[in-house]
Amino acid sequence: MARKTPTLNAADRAALDDIRVFDGKRRRPLTKSETETLLQIYAIKGDFDISVDDLAPPGTILARAVRHFVPTDISLIMPIMQVVMLAAAHLTQIGAYLDVPGVGRIRPTQWNVVLASSGSSKTLAKDEIFRSFAKTEGVPPVAMMPAAGSDAQWIEGMREHNGTYWLQDEVGKYFNKVLRDALFRRMKPWLLDAYSHQQIDNILKTAEDKTVIPDPHFAFLGLGVADTWTNEIDAASMLDGYCQRFNYVLAEPRVDTDVFDHFLYFQGPKVEADRARLRKNWEALCAQPGAAGPYRLNDDVLPFLAAWWRGLRASWGNTPVPASFIRRIGFSILRYLPVLHFLLGKSRWAIDVETAELATRYAELHFQSILKIMQQYDPRTAGSVGLIVAKRQDLLSNGKPATKREIMRKLSKSQREAMDRGMINAVLAVLEKIEEMPGLVDGAASPKEKSAAIVGRRDEILARSKHNQRKRNERRTRILVNKLNVSRQPNTDDDADPTSAAASCSRGAVANGAYPPHDAANDDSSIIDDLFDFTGSVVDRSPSGQRGDTQVVRFPWSGKADPR
């Protein structure tokens, strides 16, 4: 008689017996569905291979912000995410959107949560970026959402400050209130609707006094402590639709320095000059033509993103991220596109593959972060599942059956003694189910072929985008700074000329609504002739027409000269 395929009922207790969740009335074990999802997550190897350089292309304001934080021990992910979120908030507040035919308007309303260890200067990093970007000291560079101590206060604040930037410290505690506290109980359904800009209202008020917000929209950044996250938000809540509306980032501690290397942060004679350069770059980006959109896509962007999407299964070891996570993280790329295009100084052009490729790196950061966060709910089980998956893969690659007996034979004595056999049954059952699930790449070639294709395509894109990338990015920023300086000179005709860059920026549209196709390798050709000589040095177009001085600086990690 054939042996019956093991069910997950017994395996639930064997694999995840220690985990309990609170459903509002009692603490209970995980359901079968929750257990299967967790086991799928545990089966994925969540190596962090996204570097700071991947997220902050050289020559951009992102790289300059990173460089400002290098003399500290603060995780360099912190300034990157602070800059990204300020850009998302700014674009949201000036009405920018991405226009995708057939899909409609997509706002850049990023909802991100950044987790770091306790004492990692999360708030200080936010304060420093705000201080560097703000025109007036003590005044945030964007409009902010006021703090709320209840759901009633929150919806009233939303009515008065819809479209602003919600920055929430101690986000784990706050989420716990939204999920558990009676004073916040109405916020969960409101936020579920606000994510997709659906109407929210205060139904407990009388009809004539009801608060109605027909189009809620805002950028959200939560800052929390990674070490206590699993105590504040249980595993079932992380699998709930509310928590999955947010992208997660783990800001790992730096390995090149530690707290004992730095008594004071941001001190010394060069700090104010660095802040001034950051502020000038930010102002130039805000004043660039087309910053307020609408943003549109080059013809090759959606095919590139579709190829990246199809390659996710192969690139993640043939094990899918739970669909709820992967779908929302994948969709957030569309919200990233205008933000990153703005930060690259390319708002006047249609969004190109270079920007799209950068957006996929942020998505991969979110994938890896959520995996590592979920694995923290039961690190012992996560390690055991990873071992089972590895042994199973070894057997299959050698043409052998991946049965429980064969896997047990591959384990050492100490490994066998430490592992419950029911766990092996559970993992094998989940993995078999995964292989039978419809993939994200239906109708495509084999996983090996898909992997080779996406890697080849990515190499091609990277080779093209990295060609003189730093010079192109810095040159583009310098052009915007020069145009900003020119627009601020007395007796300028910008205000009178409706086709000028300054007037176009104030209107929030490119002149005549034209978005020409953008070639990343030649994006500045029409303007460079005006502002740069053949050496790449900045030409000061002062009233006297004399060429300005060029200061040469060197990046400490590259040794390459950079014309300022």
Residue with tokens 């407990």: 204
Would you tell me how many other CB atoms lie within 10 Å of the CB of residue 60?
25
Give the list of residues 6+ apart from residue 35 with CB closer than 8 angstroms, or none: 8, 11, 12, 15, 16, 426
Give the list of residues 6+ apart from residue 356 with CB closer than 8 angstroms, or none: 301, 304, 305, 333, 337
Tell me which amino acid residue 299 is: D
Q: In this structure, are residues 538 and 563 in contact, taking their beta carbons and an 8 Å threshold?
A: yes
Q: Are residues 352 and 387 in the same domain?
A: no
CA atoms within a 13 Å half-sphere pointing along the CA-CB vector of 448: 1
**Is residue 549 in some structural domain?**
yes
Q: Are residues 19 and 58 in the same domain?
A: no
**Is residue 319 in some structural domain?**
yes
What is the chain's pLDDT, residue by residue, as a tens digit (564 residues)? 443 333 333 443 444 555 666 666 777 777 777 776 766 666 655 555 678 989 999 999 999 999 999 999 999 999 999 999 999 999 999 999 999 999 999 999 999 999 999 888 999 999 999 999 999 988 999 999 999 999 999 999 999 999 999 999 999 999 999 999 999 999 999 999 999 999 999 876 555 678 899 999 999 999 999 999 999 998 888 888 889 899 999 999 998 998 899 999 999 889 999 999 999 999 999 999 999 989 999 998 998 998 888 877 665 544 445 667 788 888 899 999 999 999 999 999 999 999 999 999 999 999 889 888 888 887 666 677 777 877 888 888 888 888 888 888 888 887 777 776 677 777 777 666 555 443 332 333 444 443 444 445 545 555 555 556 777 887 888 888 888 888 877 654 444 444 343 433 333 333 333 333 444 444 433 332 232 222 233 333 333 333 233 333 332 333 333 332
Q: SS3 of 26, please? A: coil
CB-count burial class (<10 Å; 0-12, 13-18, 19+) for 463: exposed
Q: SS3 of 166, please? A: strand
The DSSP symbol for 532 reads B
- Residue 211 to residue 203: CA distance in whole angstroms: 8
CB-count burial class (<10 Å; 0-12, 13-18, 19+) for 326: buried
Q: Are residues 120 and 220 in the same domain?
A: yes
Give the list of residues 6+ apart from residue 354 with CB closer than 8 angstroms, or none: 344, 461, 464, 465, 520
Q: Are residues 330 and 419 in the same domain?
A: no
**Is residue 92 in some structural domain?**
yes
Give counts: helices (H), strands (E), the chain.
24, 12
Q: Are residues 216 and 295 in the same domain?
A: yes
Q: Are residues 121 and 228 in the same domain?
A: yes
CATH number of the domain to which 323 belongs:
3.40.50.300
Q: Are residues 258 and 403 in the same domain?
A: no
Q: Are residues 410 and 371 in the same domain?
A: no
Q: Are residues 429 and 546 in the same domain?
A: no
Among candidates 308, 406, 388, which has minimal Cα distance to 356? 308
Q: Are residues 213 and 278 in the same domain?
A: yes
**Is residue 421 in some structural domain?**
yes
- Pairing relationship of beta strands 111-116 and 219-225 according to DSSP bridges: parallel
Indicate the residue among 338, 360, 375 that finishes a domain. Answer: 375
- Residue 315 to residue 220: CA distance in whole angstroms: 29
- Measured between its terminal Cα atoms, the distance across the chain in Å is 78
Q: Are residues 19 and 74 in the same domain?
A: no
Angle between helices 447-465 and 353-375 (to 10 degrees): 120
Q: How far is CA 191 from the centre of its chain?
A: 19
**Is residue 494 in some structural domain?**
no
Among candidates 224, 203, 223, 221, which has minimal Cα distance to 212? 203
Indicate the residue among 349, 375, 401 that finishes a domain. Answer: 375
Indicate the residue among 444, 472, 497 that finishes a domain. Answer: 444
Number of domains the chain is built from? 3
Q: Are residues 317 and 234 in the same domain?
A: yes
**Is residue 44 in some structural domain?**
no
CB-count burial class (<10 Å; 0-12, 13-18, 19+) for 490: exposed
**Is residue 473 in some structural domain?**
no
**Is residue 140 in some structural domain?**
yes
Domain that holds residue 182: 52-375
